[in-house]
Structure 1
Amino acid sequence: MTWTVDEQLALSATDAVAAIQSGGLKATDYVATLLARAASLGTLNALTVIDLDGALAAGRRIDALPAAARAQLPLAGLPIVVKDNINTVGLQTSAGTPALEGFVPNTNAPSVQRLIDAGAIILGKANMHELAFGITSTNLATHARPVRNPYDPALIPGGSSGGTAVAIAARIAPAGLGTDTGGSTRIPAALTGTAGFRPSVGNGGGERRYHDPDAVVPISHTRDTVGPMARSVADIALLDGVITGAGPLPAVALNGLRIGLPAPLWDGLERQVEDVARAALKRLEAAGVVFVPVAMSELNHLNGMVSGPIAIHEARGDVNAWLAANQAPVQSVGELAARIASPDVRAIYDAVLAGSLDSHYEAALNHWRPLLQAYIAATFADERLDALLFPTTRLAAVPIDEINGSSTVSIDGAPPVDTMEAFLRNTDPASTSGIPGLSLPAGMSAYGLPVGLELDGPLGSDRRLLAIGVAFEQLLGALPPPVL
């Protein structure tokens, strides 16, 4: 079979693997098509590094395998992008910051290695908000530059995993890896019409679904995790299964699902977001989903007592540990911070270095976080909920701020609020409590911008949550691709 360029660009990750496994599509042809796409869309700044020679060589190795061996690879020839703060052998891991530009680790992150072992091919490293400390991906480092939303290049794509999301939305790659501390896979997924997953973290150890110690330029060991991103939840489930060794998704029917609607996360939405989200609810309700309003009046307060103190306190020690473990070109967080290019990130690192929230850390970690976790777990149990559902972000994509990286936004003419706080409000509780969260496309707004819905599940319910997401996306459908 001869595949046209448009047919190749439209392939889902699952369909691409099937085509390569069967021999109907050559991995080298597919890789070459996507590399050409990446080169033609360079102004989106989705990638910081393109591995032209390495990706083509990997494609040739896949094509040279005997048919039976190729068919056994779960990700045979699947091109992916990897966020630039995740360790990759032979490829830069700079976290989008000048002090680490050109730094190449000696090992792959375990999640990356599992995908490679299954046949995945890394096309390149994905751009991001500098040091992952932001939600716009407006990176002002010269080797990174602001990432642009393919639906409107004047707008942010969300962050911090904005480059991964843009590469996927723009058909540069069918899937990839991001990281998520407060919403960094889910926010860019929502703003680019793609899907993003934050797996369970819990309190670490056995509750942590993905294990990548010292293999990601960190913010917080309590909150950080790698997470897969793709154009569909089904493709995320494919990558999650490879990384964890999990079996097929459980069967889920829409009829009778009990889904909680937390009032604080439906309050104060931009009108264009609320209109799309409410329309999606009506379609799901018509299919038999039972929506249960839940007050959760203490959610935002409890989360606020946990979120900032943990991230700001842990960044200092965790970054120093990563620098030492990976023999990085700078040896301290102070050296790293001195060369930060983005003003919004520099301001955060000023707080990190000053230890401005250190006095709140122990209470946040050992008192407030357990209270938040218990509060959310009780909501699931008492209301017999399969998941919580709400708009991933309060507002759709906003204009890029190329001066500060991130400043303030106004929601439907209301007084300006901090951009990062506005976009993090709905995604942050899952992050701080350690439960799994999934963003999937809900529809397009009246202004032609993607809107996402987030599903949060109980701790450890990752595969069931993904199965619910697959059932939702089968009803709601995919969004039209950006016109590029």
Structure 2
Amino acid sequence: MTWTVDEQLALTATQAVVAIQQGRLAATDYVATLLARAAALSTLNALTALNMEGALDAAKRIDALSAAEKTRLPLAGLPVVVKDNINTVGLQTSAATPALENFVPSSNAPSVQRLVDAGAIVLGKANMHELAFGITSTNLASHAGPVRNPYDPSLIPGGSSGGTAAAIAARIAPAGLGTDTGGSTRIPAALTGTAGFRPSVGNGGRARRYHDPHAVVPISRTRDTVGPMARTVADIALLDGVIAGDTTLPAVSLAGLRIGLPAPLWEGLERALESVARAAVARLAAAGVVFVELDMPGLIELNDKVSSPVALHEPVDDVPAWLVANNAPVKTVVDIAARIACPDVRSAYDAIIADVFASQYDAAMHTWRPQLQQLYDATFNTHRIDALLFPTTILAAVPIDEMNGSSTVTIDDGETLDEMAAFLRNTDPASNAGIPGLSLPAGMTQDGRPVGIELDGPTGSDRRLLAIGIAFEQILGSLAAPAL
């Protein structure tokens, strides 16, 4: 059959794979359409590099397979974008920072390789907040530029995986990979009307769902993880199943499903965003979901004792270890810091170089983080809930600050907040506890800004959490494509 461009752009990842497997859509045609889309929307700055020749060659190889061979590939011909801090063979891995702008790894990250082995095609590398140390994706490096939100190019798309989210929302790609340390897959998903997943990390070892050692430009070995992003939760589940080798999805009935509403994460919300989130809860309640109001005392305070000591001490060792393991052109944190373009990232690296949180690290890891994990465990068990639900962010997308890359933001009645702290408030606790989190679209504000809601579950509940997300998106629906 002949597909129009609009029909191809509307395909979800799952739909595209089925169409290619069944021979109704040629992978070469689909890849060519998306490459053209990327070129036409280059002013969004969603990508740092396009894999034009490599993607078309890979598509030709998929088209040359027999029907039976395509069927055995769960991602046959699926184009994906990969965040520019995740290792990709033959393509730059710059982390959107000048010191690494020409660096090309010798191998793929394991998560990328599993997608490729399943038939996926890397369309290009996605722009990001420099070195993943921010939530705006306002990249000030000369080779990139600020990622723009497809729903309003004057607004941030969130970060640090903003390029992946923007490319997916703009229909440049149906799916992709980001990374998440404190909210970097979930925040941009919320701000761009897409879905973003942070898999279980736990305390490492078998509790860590994805294993990508020395394959991602790091912040924190305790908190970092690769995470899939897409337009639907079903597509997230497709990618997660391939990466983790676990494709089972438990049956979920909304009738009687118990979901907790943690009070600390429902406070201080932008009114326009809160209205959308509350309406989503009402629709889910009407479908049979039982919502349980929870206090979770001490949640924010415990998180604050863990967050910066881990995220700003572990790079002291983790960044040089990645540089050496990958034979990068620079070898030290000081080498990286010397060429940082964004003032907010430079400030973070100043703290890393000075190791200002060294004295707080042991307590963060051995006292406060276990207490945070115990709080979550007790909450899930005592109240017999399957997941927590709350707005992914406390406010919707705000204007891009093209001078500094980060700034303050004002909510409703004039309260001024630090931009990064505001956007991280609701996503950061799950990151520090190591539990899985999923952001999915809840709707849009009256002025057209997407709003996301997040589901967090116990460590290891990833597939059940995704199944709940799929059930929720069937009630809440998806957002209309941005007008581009």
Note if 1:54 corresponds to 2:47: no
Q: Within 5 A, what are the aligned runs for 1:235-274? A: 235-274=235-274
Partner residue in 2 for 1:156: 156
- 2:316 & 2:44 partners in 1: Cα distance? 32
Distance 1:338 1:158 in 2: 25
Counterpart of 1:276 in structure 2 is 276
Separation in structure 1 between the aligned mates of residue 435 and residue 244 of structure 2, nearest angstrom: 16
**1:16 aligns to 2:16 (yes or no):** yes
**Amino acid aligned to 2:38:** A
Counterpart in the other structure of 2:223: 223
The answer on 1:205 being equivalent to 2:205 is yes
The CA distance in 2 between the partners of 1:417 and 1:277, in whole Å, is: 21
Equivalent position of 2:476 in the other structure: 476
Residue 457 (structure 1) aligned with residue 457 (structure 2): yes
**Residue 413 of structure 1: how far off its partner (Å):** 3.1
Letter in 2 for 1:200: S
Q: Which residue of 1 aligns with 2:126?
A: 126
Deviation at 1:66?
1.4
CA distance in structure 1 between the aligned counterparts of 2:247 and 2:423, rounded to whole angstroms: 34
Tell me the alpha carbon deviations over residues 65-102 of structure 1, each in whole angstroms, 9 at most, x when there is no partner: 11210111100000000000000000000000000001
Residues 87-134 of structure 1, C-alpha deviations (whole Å, 9 max, x = no match): 000000000000000100011000000000000000000000000000
Partners of 2:272 and 2:340 in 1: CA distance: 35
Q: Deviations over 1:202-222 (max 9, x none)?
A: 000000000000000000000
Counterpart of 1:188?
A: 188
Partners in 2 of 1:247 and 1:171 — Cα distance? Answer: 26
- Is contact 2:262-2:296 (8 Å) kept? yes
Separation in 2, partners of 1:67, 1:76 = 11
Pairing 1:288-327 to 2, within 5 Å after superposition: 288-327=288-327
The structural deviation recorded for 1:414 is: 2.6
Determine helix, strand or coil for the equivalent of 2:267.
coil
For residue 163 of structure 1, what is the amino acid of its counterpart? G
Alignment of 1:57-68 (within 5 A): 57-68=57-68
The letter for the 1-side match of 2:447 is Y
Matches within 5 A, 1:22-37: 22-37=22-37
Aligned residue for 1:416?
Answer: 416
Q: Deviations over 1:173-229 (max 9, x none)?
A: 000000000000000000000000000000000000000000000000000000000
Partner-residue secondary structure (3-state), 1:93: coil
Letter in 2 for 1:92: Q
For the aligned residues, what is the CA RMSD?
A: 0.5
Tell me the CA shift for residue 467 of structure 1. Answer: 0.2
What SS does the corresponding residue of 1:399 show, helix, strand or coil?
Answer: coil
**Tell me, which stretches of 5 or more residues in structure 2 are unaligned?**
none
After the TM superposition, which residues 362-377 of structure 1 pair with which residues of structure 2 at under 5 Å, given as runs? 362-377=362-377
Identity level (%): 75
Out of 405-414 and 266-275, give the one that drifted further.
405-414
Specify the SS of the correspondent of 1:114. helix
Matched residue SS, 2:310? helix
Tell me how far apart the structure 2 counterparts of residues 205 and 404 of structure 1 sit (CA, whole Å): 39
Aligned to 2:447: 447
Q: Could you tell me how far 1:403 is from its partner in structure 2?
A: 1.1
Cα distance in 1, alignment partners of residues 62 and 413 from structure 2? 54
**Which residue matches 1:344?**
344
Q: Secondary structure at the match of 1:363?
A: helix
Q: What do residues 20-61 of structure 1 show as CA deviations (whole Å, max 9, x unaligned)? A: 001100000000000000000000000000010000000000
Q: Secondary structure at the match of 1:147?
A: coil
Amino acid at match of 1:133: F
Partners of 1:415 and 1:233 in 2: CA distance: 34
Is 1:44 aligned with 2:44?
Answer: yes
What residue in structure 1 maps to residue 400 of structure 2? 400
Post-superposition shift, 1:475?
Answer: 0.4
Structure 1 range deviating more: 400-409 or 171-180: 400-409
**SS of the residue 1:410 aligns to:** strand
Structure 2 counterpart of 1:427, which letter?
Answer: T
In the TM superposition, what is the alpha-carbon distance from 1:144 to its structure 2 partner? 1.5
Q: Give unmatched runs, 5+ long, in structure 1.
A: none
SS in 1 for 2:312: helix
Report whether the alignment pairs 1:432 with 2:432: yes
CA distance in 2, matches of 1:339, 1:222: 26
What is the rounded CA distance, in whole Å, between the counterparts of 1:456 and 1:417 in structure 2?
Answer: 25
Stretch moving more, 295-304 or 411-420: 411-420
Q: Distance in 2 between matches of 1:410 and 1:225?
A: 31
In structure 1, distance between residues paired with 2:311 and 2:54:
36
Paired with 2:210 and 2:86, the residues of 1 have a C-alpha distance of 13
User: What's the counterpart of residue 106 of structure 1?
Assistant: 106
- Deviations for 1:211-259, whole angstroms, at most 9, x for unmatched residues? 0000000000000000000000000000000001112311001110100
Q: Runs of 4+ in structure 1 displaced over 3 angstroms?
A: none
Cα separation, 1, equivalents of 2:448 and 2:358: 43
For the residue of structure 2 that corresponds to 1:229, the secondary structure is: strand
411-420 vs 303-312, which deviates more?
A: 411-420
Structure 2 length as normaliser, TM-score?
1.00
Structure 1 counterpart SS, 2:439: strand
Name the structure 1 match of 2:84.
84
Partner of 1:233: 233
Q: Distance in 1 between matches of 2:251 and 2:321?
A: 42
Separation in structure 2 between the aligned mates of residue 427 and residue 438 of structure 1, nearest angstrom: 10
Q: How many residues align?
A: 484
Q: 2:385: which partner in 1?
A: 385
Q: Are the equivalent residues in 1 in contact too, given 2:238–2:247 (CA < 8 A)?
A: no
The 3-state SS of whatever aligns with 1:14 is: helix
Q: Could you tell which deviates more after superposition, 400-409 or 158-167?
A: 400-409
CA contact (8 A) 2:114 2:242 kept: yes
> Which stretch has the larger CA shift, 247-256 or 169-178?
247-256
- Shift of residue 276 of structure 1? 0.1
Q: TM-score, normalised by structure 1?
A: 1.00
Whichever residue aligns with residue 154 of structure 2, its letter is A
Distance 1:304 1:336 in 2: 27
Post-superposition Cα deviations, 1:354-374, rounded to whole Å, max 9, x if no partner, equal: 111111000001110000000
3-state DSSP class of the match of 2:113? helix
